[in-house]
Amino acid sequence: MNSAKVIDALLLWPEVDSNDAGLTAGAISLLASTVADWPEAEKPSFAGLCTALENRLARSGGMEVLVPQNSSAQEQGHESAHSDSPQLSAVKSGRDLLDKAKLLSRWLSEQSQGWLASHRLIKTVRWDTVNQIPPLDSSGRTRLVPPKPDYRAQLKRLYLQKNWTELVEQASQMYCEGVNHFWFDLQWYLWQGLSHAGYPWDTWTDSVLCDLRLLLKRLPGLEGLAWNDGTPFADEVTTAWIAEKVNEECLMYGDELATVVNGQADDVLLLESEAMEKGDTDGPEAALTWLQSRPGMDTPRHRWLIRLLMARVAEQYGRNEMALHLLGELTICAPQLTLGDWEPGLLFEIQARRLKLLRMKAGRSESDKTRLMPEMESLIAGLIAIDPARAMVLCG
């Protein structure tokens, strides 16, 4: 009963609810009673099996969970998931509900423009039934098993290849498996894929942000937890993305135009929409050239604002190295223009955007992280000096 074969067999059926757990515990108790009078040398031990079953139950959310939090890669329901005309029956357990939700979700995903309904359905079942954060062990980690290592490599490869629709499809499929609904890096990849895949995908990006915002608002601190091997639910890039795009209190410095007192500065910043249109038709290089050649931009203030617009445009088109260079130049020039007195909100935006991009760059390797850490700490100190309340979110 404690053999690796039996324990491995349990991994094929990760879903478990209170009814299953009760029946299993009762069966083991009866077995233990039956062999209680056997000689010690012949009496089987159920300790290993009980430990495996306990971990299996914990990874599915415990006895009180409404829907099992762990899920197999393939549907294991009584009816075949590939039946031409599956027979619907009453839902008898949380596991039964999850199996039927997967079946319905897959059918929706096969329909024209059905991805959103498919994804929202399975997300409702997997997220909205979670009413408490997973239990932690003595080291502060959850007992949840991390995603498969090859999944991370697969997502990164699709992202680098800019295969956006396939990235969305694979991330959606991975979300349904195991406890990957707690893997928040998936949401970052989903958002990236939807944002770049064109119509109709790009019309669904807000749903990723809104759904995640609601989950984290209900279960604060969830994104800061870790798998049982210590790796985080959300890596540094995802954490920065959540801080900028998901958290309501952080939206103050995102893609919205900074509020500038001077009316002429407002006019300069309003050129961003025209520059983006230019970039969409003629390419980002043409947009930057167009901004740089605007007439009447003679004063240091005007030139500084134009460089800020160029950095924004470069970042939105994925030219992060160019954006980093421009933002660094703006940061160096800022003391000469006494920007802290002139418009501290703009200085905050520059440093926050640069911090975000450096965090992304630092996530590539440990050597990059070590090399960039002093500058990131300096930026954080500068943000705190400008506005401690807004900086608190970025430093968390």
Average pLDDT over residues 58-74: 58
For residue 62, pLDDT beyond 80: no
Which tops the pLDDT comparison, 85 or 210? 210
Stronger pLDDT, 42 or 350, i.e. the higher one: 350
Q: Which of 105, 356, 393 is nearest to 236 (CA)?
A: 356
Q: What is the dihedral of CA 373, 375, 377, 379, to 10 degrees?
A: -150
Mean pLDDT across the stretch 149-166? 93
pLDDT at 173 over 80: yes
Q: Does the pLDDT of residue 378 top 80, yes or no?
A: yes
pLDDT at 89: 73
pLDDT at position 233: 95
On the question of pLDDT at 200 being above 80, the answer is: yes
- What is the rounded CA–CA span in Å between residue 314 and residue 100? 45
More confident site: 37 or 210: 210
Q: What pLDDT does residue 12 have?
A: 64
Mean pLDDT for the stretch of residues 177-182: 92
pLDDT of residue 51: 76
Instruction: Report the C-alpha gap between 133 and 296 in whole angstroms.
Output: 56
pLDDT-derived band at 101 (thresholds 50, 70, 90) equals: confident
The average pLDDT across 46-61 equals 71
* pLDDT of amino acid 157: 94
- Report domain extents, the chain: 4-59, 94-246, 263-395
Select the more confidently predicted residue: 387 or 249: 387
Provide the token pair at 174.
């991975």
Q: Which structure tokens are listed for 239?
A: 């954490």
Max mean pLDDT range (255-259, 307-311, 347-351, 354-358): 307-311
Answer for the pair 228, 139: CB distance below 8 angstroms, yes or no.
no
- What single DSSP character describes residue 244? I
Please choose, from the candidates 249, 216, 247, the residue with its C-alpha nearest in 3D space to the C-alpha of residue 390: 249
Residue 310's pLDDT is what?
92
Question: What is the pLDDT averaged over residues 128-135?
Answer: 89
pLDDT at 167: 96
Mean pLDDT of the region 351-359? 87
Distance (Å, rounded) from C-alpha 83 to C-alpha 65?
29
What value does the mean pLDDT of the chain take? 81
Average pLDDT over residues 139-150: 90
The dihedral formed by the CA atoms of 89, 93, 98 and 103, expressed in degrees to the nearest 10:
-10
Per the listing, tokens 């609904």 go with: 181
The pLDDT value given to residue 82: 46
- In this prediction, residue 248 carries a pLDDT of 60
C-alpha to C-alpha distances, 292 to 72, 152, 269, 285, nearest whole angstrom: 55, 40, 13, 11
What is the value of pTM for the model shown?
Answer: 0.50
Judge residue 338's burial from the number of C-beta atoms within 10 Å of its C-beta, 0-12 exposed, 13-18 middle, 19 or more buried.
Answer: exposed
Confidence at residue 166, expressed as pLDDT on a 0 to 100 scale: 96
Q: Are 144 and 179 in contact (CB under 8 A)?
A: yes
Does 264 score more than 90 pLDDT? no
Measured from the Cβ of residue 155, the count of other Cβ atoms closer than 10 Å reads 22
Q: Look up tokens 């306990």; give the residue.
A: 54
Instruction: Give the bridge partners for 239, in sequence order.
Output: none
Q: How confident is the model at residue 71 (pLDDT cuts 50, 70, 90)?
A: low
Give the residue-averaged pLDDT of 215-230. Answer: 91
For range 194-218, the mean pLDDT: 93
Cis status of the peptide bond prior to 200, with omega within 30 of 0:
yes
Judging by beta carbons within 10 Å of its beta carbon (0-12, 13-18, 19+), is residue 374 exposed, middle or buried?
exposed
pLDDT tens readout for residues 324-338: 999 999 888 887 776
Interatomic CA distance for residues 255 and 312, integer angstroms = 8
With a cut of 50, say whether residue 250 has pLDDT above it.
no
Residue closest to 7 by CA, chosen among 56, 40, 41: 56
In the predicted model, is pLDDT for residue 256 greater than 50? no
Q: Which CATH architecture has domain 263-395?
A: Alpha Horseshoe (1.25)
Q: Residue 108 — very low, low, confident or very high, per pLDDT cuts 50/70/90?
A: confident
What stretches of the chain show up as alpha helix (H) in DSSP? 4-11, 18-34, 47-59, 94-109, 115-127, 149-161, 164-175, 185-196, 205-218, 236-241, 263-269, 271-282, 284-292, 300-316, 320-333, 339-342, 344-362, 366-386, 388-395
- With beta carbons less than 8 A apart as the criterion, state whether 380 and 391 touch: yes
pLDDT band at 261 (very low <50, low <70, confident <90, very high): very low
Reported as a single tens digit per residue, the pLDDT across 290-310 is 998 888 777 777 888 899 999
16-30, 176-190, 192-206, 283-297 — which is least confidently predicted?
16-30
**For residues 47-57, average pLDDT:** 73
